[in-house]
């Protein structure tokens, strides 16, 4: 769960156990370090990441894209369970899922998998669930908080082709 996230490049330098933390640039670095701390040293457990929850999204670019998606689907996204948008499917709402994945909050999750490919070699983001939670009763004038839950799954194996394969094409090499 990621709450009130900021790029480590924009946060003050900190120390851990008296040692300076190495300079981190991306939020995905911070997410990964926290995940391996929670998962432990077992690579199978590290590779078992299934969800990344972006809680109380405040990024205006992300919020605006979700508003655009809402106008395209013709209604506002409400409380849980909200709406699920496919990313890896050819489903009609894949375009909306890809738009949300392309936001600053979604791209960070994709970057986490890409940047740490040795730990997540066959993982992909398959879908995203979007919903809003109402403000607490103590803050009646506040707008509902945007929530994003990214689902991480194994990349499915490529379908086997029963058609005979064509011979490999010869490539030309242009050397100067």
The pTM for the full model equals: 0.77
Flag whether 126 is in a domain: yes
Flag whether 86 is in a domain: yes
Flag whether 166 is in a domain: no
Flag whether 99 is in a domain: yes
Flag whether 56 is in a domain: yes
How many domains, in total, are found in the chain? 1
With a cut of 90, say whether residue 29 has pLDDT above it.
no
Q: Which residues contact 62 (CB under 8 A, 6 or more apart)?
A: 100, 103, 104, 105, 106, 146, 148
Segment 86-116, tens digit of pLDDT? 998 766 668 999 999 999 999 999 999 998 8
Flag whether 95 is in a domain: yes
Flag whether 148 is in a domain: yes
Domain span holding position 79 = 2-7+20-135+144-154
Q: Percent of the chain scored above 70 by pLDDT?
A: 75
3-state SS assignment for residue 66: helix
pLDDT of residue 161: 66
Flag whether 89 is in a domain: yes
């Amino acid at each position: 769960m990621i709450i009130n996230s900021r790029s480590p490049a924009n946060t003050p330098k900190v120390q851990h156990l008296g040692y300076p933390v190495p300079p981190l640039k991306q939020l995905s670095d911070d997410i990964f370090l926290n995940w391996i701390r929670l998962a432990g040293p077992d690579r199978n457990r590290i590779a078992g990441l299934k969800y990344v929850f972006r809680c109380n999204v405040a990024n205006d670019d992300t919020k605006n894209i979700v508003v655009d998606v809402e106008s395209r689907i013709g209604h506002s996204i409400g409380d849980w369970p909200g709406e699920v948008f496919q990313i890896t499917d050819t489903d009609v709402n894949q375009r909306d899922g890809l738009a949300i994945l392309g936001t600053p909050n979604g791209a960070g999750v994709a970057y986490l998998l890409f940047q740490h490919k040795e730990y997540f070699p066959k993982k992909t983001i398959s879908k995203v669930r979007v919903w809003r939670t109402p403000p607490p009763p103590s803050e009646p004038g506040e707008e509902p908080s945007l929530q994003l839950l990214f689902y991480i799954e194994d990349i499915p194996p490529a379908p086997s082709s029963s058609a005979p394969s064509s011979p490999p094409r010869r490539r030309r090499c242009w050397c100067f």
